[in-house]
Amino acid sequence: MTNILAILKKEMVHELRNKKSSLMLILFPIIMITILSLVLSSAFADQSSVTNVDILYNLNGNSTLTQEFMNMTREASKSGFNLIDASVTGINPGNITDTGYACYIQLSGNGSDMVLYENTKLSMEASITETMLSSFIRSYNTQTVIRKVNPASINKPVNFPEGGYVQAESLQKERAPSSLDYYTIAMLTLFIMYSALSGLWAINSERTQKTGNRILASPLRKYELLAGKTIGTTLVTIFQMAVVFIFARYILNAYMGSHMESIALVLISEIIMSISIGISISLMVKNINLASSIVNFVPVIFGFLGGAYFPLSNMDSRFLNTLSNFSPIKWSNDAIFKVVFDNDFSQVVNAVIINLSIAALIFAVASLVFRREAQLK
């Protein structure tokens, strides 16, 4: 235990003295969180409300339907529909798809017939417009029948639906992540994977600084060396990521929920895995350049498959979604997102087991091929 504590202390002091490296692992995630959350904020915006749906209309004649339609346009404008007279724009129904308008409404036959031309490029807005018109037509037809039965009501206008024609009701009541929330979690788990470089240099530094001979001459066992370096580097990385987390939550105001212990458990298990990968690759691959290339390549692939750069579900690829299951970042992200936004802890244990299993497996392989005399010189 004394030897482990000595190695642990030595690694922590060495890592903390390297101020350039420590600042980079703290500043880079903060910069990436800030930039990505600002640039891609529109991709995470709430699109459940109806706003600024532009619609063209052309009226022929002056029938009751025409009059009621004009009443409807004034009411619909309060719900986010912008109905514009087509004669002002000079646009015909045939080229509606080449414009930014969702629909073209044509009232013909002395104002008794209504035809709707939809812009297929704006299918969602066109569908909403069709729903709005259907509501109007049902109200108009109902009033027409009533007027035939009770002519005294002939001068009463159509009663439009109170509160607008379209009302959005979310089926998912839980809070959805904003771009800041998403990239705070995504960048934390991504840069934790890059902390494998710290594990790599924990071993390689003994070679470059020519301190390997002193370790070889000491009565140090293999497990004591590996345990001391792993724990020491892990503690420093925990401190660095904690600074990033605190900054994102309290300075940038990212939402992280109220279950910090579950989030910390997942992140710490990933840190242990990443440091283990770095140390193990350094032990198995003596060529420093090759080892560095491998360690730099792993976070890029795992990060992409784990949704670090953008939600992989947006690509609508079954192959990539299946392949993402091989990324530990994906499991860590899923676990944290469920805890923060759904209060669902079902994935926490899975993520921790996967991270620690990978760490144990790669450490076991590295221990089998590790020979102190060959690897620390």
Residues 6+ apart with CB under 8 A from 54: 82, 84, 100, 101, 102
pLDDT in tens, 300-357: 999 999 989 888 877 767 788 889 899 999 999 999 999 998 888 999 999 999 999 9
Start-to-end CA distance of the chain, whole Å, equals 25
Yes or no: say if 48 and 199 are a contact pair by the CB < 8 Å rule: no
Higher local confidence (pLDDT), 15 or 61: 15
Q: What φ, ψ does residue 85 adopt, rounded to 5°?
A: -65, 120
Query: What pLDDT does residue 171 have?
Result: 41
User: 153 falls in which pLDDT band (50, 70, 90)?
Assistant: low
Residues 6+ apart with CB under 8 A from 26: 240, 243, 244
Domains and CATH numbers, the chain: 2-45+176-375 (no CATH), 53-153 (3.40.120)
Bridge partners, residue 184, by sequence: none
By CB atoms closer than 10 A (0-12, 13-18, 19+), residue 45 is exposed
User: 219 falls in which pLDDT band (50, 70, 90)?
Assistant: low
Query: What pLDDT does residue 211 have?
Result: 66
pLDDT in tens, 347-374: 999 999 999 999 999 888 887 776 544 4
Q: Has residue 203 got a pLDDT over 60?
A: yes
Yes or no: say if 192 and 161 are a contact pair by the CB < 8 Å rule: no
Query: What pLDDT does residue 168 have?
Result: 45
pLDDT in tens, 92-101: 888 887 788 8
Distance CA 97, CA 119 (A): 5
The mean per-residue pLDDT over the stretch 42-61 comes to 70
The DSSP 8-state label assigned to residue 160 in this structure reads: P
- Name the one residue in this structure whose structure tokens are 């024609």: 165
